[in-house]
Structure 1
Amino acid sequence: MSSQKESTARTLTVALLVCLVCSVFVAGAAVALKPTQVDNRLLDKQRSILAIAGLGDPSMSSAQVKDMFKGTISAKLVDLQSGKFSDAKDPVTFDPLKASKDPKLSSVLKGSDDIAGIKRQERFSTVYVVEKEGQVDTLILPVRGYGLWSTLYGFIAVKGDLNTVVGMGFYQHGETPGLGGEVDNPKWKGQWPGKTLFDEDGKLAVEIVKGGIDAQSPKAVHQVDGLAGATLTSKGVDNLLKFWLGQNGFGPFIANLRAGEA
């Protein structure tokens, strides 16, 4: 009986030691790989920004992305409350998504103020600017909002007139492949360049429409066809654009930048 107990105890001890050693290895690997994972996420985001701004393509190497991003695009911090540039944080290292979870750096959105479904909004955000001869040539704004199954994270790039779209796309989401996941379809993304965000009166007019665009309508220049079979994802994209380009998002900043007061 004692021999059986010894055997059982020995087996449990060995199993415990094996589990402990494996845990140490897994934890060590996770810690060691974290910087690489962070760097890869940043690289994917930079690659998306370049592609959306029409400055590169997904096939670029990591070195090409870093060199082009460093030499072409400037990160700048925007105070969403004042609608002006700010030096309160380092725009290169500041993480707006992390800040949105910090009560000291964000605020709760309720009811109709939260049409994008993000729940909390950061006070400061990082925008990306391409300048030529001291003037804004392209402005890239981060956007995010809830679709059908997930929050979509992306960017919209506009020309120096702060109205004409250069490109729009998402670098992260969890929408259904073949349906809401069609936000990644080059054909759908190809509808965005040349569209305008605001009408002649300066009112936000961009929208995603269901059932096709009437090319003869004066509104067509502001409209993009919705995703086939993905009404809720299309509505989510429409809502997130209205939020981030509106008064609660980058609307005041765009107005100040246009007036030379940002």
Structure 2
Amino acid sequence: MEEKSVNKTNSNGYTFMFAIIMVVVVAAVLAFTATSLQPTQKENVRQEKMQNILATVGIETDRPGAEKLYNQYIVEELALDENGQVDESVDAFKVDLAKELKKDVNEQVFPLYIAEVEGKRFYIVPLRGNGLWNAIFGYISIKDDINTIKGATFDHLGETPGLGAEITKQWFKEAFEEEKIFDENGNLVGVSVVKGNIDASDKDDNKVDAISGATITGDGVSDMISERLKRYLPYFEKQKDIKVAIK
């Protein structure tokens, strides 16, 4: 009797059944865990977005403190169409730029965040473009002359560590501070990431120094800044209290 019991537990059928049960149990546990964590993950993403927006105007905070400071310093969230008109039916904060960029320009929504810090007003534009391997994105804030960059923050989905991934480093982000987005002829050109002997003190050249070995990522940063900022010109040109740098 004992030998038959051993043979039964060592049979292929028993092993197969045990494997199926374990797969089902593990899958159920993973599904439950993922579902349980989803609200927390969404909240973390929401708070991190607030952190990044605030960082462009010099407000640093941890994730738990982001919402309080966001509500303190961000005075308006606008959803714009291609003509610079505000669409009040759209929640600007919930706009997914990755999805918007897949649409035709005339169907896109352009979120704009307006901050007031120590009596000064800043306009914060979300950015998204293409790096070497995947999407790159971030935010850039413009002073109320609509020409001078207050600050910028960048991130990526899959750039190479030590190369393209350097766009997240503080030294790279700081290079954009005080740079102008219009050239001397009044054309909106953004800021280009350029190889060579760039004078970091020259804030009127529309250029910052490139990351060594990351030309394609740098070009992606340049392209997304100029492309995204140009979409907001119709709005800025309509505002009577804003002197746009364009001639």
TM-score using structure 2 length = 0.83
Secondary structure of the equivalent of 2:110?
Answer: strand
Question: Post-superposition shift, 1:5?
Answer: 7.2
Q: What pairs up with 1:1-262 in 2 under 5 angstroms?
A: 7-56=11-60, 60-100=61-101, 106-107=103-104, 123-131=108-116, 137-205=121-189, 206-214=191-199, 219-220=204-205, 222-246=206-230, 249-257=231-239
Over the residues paired in the alignment, what is the CA RMSD in angstroms? 2.9
1:93-117 CA distance string (max 9 Å, x none): 343434445xxxx22x7xxxxxxxx
Question: Post-superposition shift, 1:213?
Answer: 1.9
Q: 1:76, 1:85 within 8 Å by CA — same for their partners in 2?
A: no
Unmatched tracts of structure 2, length 5 or more:
243-247
CA distance in 2, matches of 1:219, 1:100: 30
Q: 1:252 to 1:29 in 2, by over 3 A?
A: same
Question: Post-superposition shift, 1:250?
Answer: 2.2
Secondary structure of the equivalent of 2:142?
Answer: strand
Unmatched tracts of structure 1, length 5 or more:
110-120
CA distance in 2, matches of 1:190, 1:29: 40
Larger radius of gyration: 2
Q: 1:75, 1:126 within 8 Å by CA — same for their partners in 2?
A: no
Q: 1:174 to 1:254 in 2, by over 3 A?
A: farther
CA distance in 2, matches of 1:85, 1:224: 33
Q: 1:98 to 1:75 in 2, by over 3 A?
A: farther
**What letter matches 2:22 in structure 1?**
V
1:49-88 CA distance string (max 9 Å, x none): 11122122xxx33332111012211452333321222213
1:136-176 CA distance string (max 9 Å, x none): 70111001111111210101111111111011121343211
* Count of aligned pairs: 237
Q: 1:96 to 1:258 in 2, by over 3 A?
A: farther
Q: Once superposed, which parts of structure 1, at least 4 consecutive aligned residues long, lie more than 4 Å away?
A: 2-6, 214-219
**What letter matches 1:252 in structure 2?**
P
The range that moved more, 207-216 or 85-94, is 207-216
TM-score using structure 1 length = 0.79
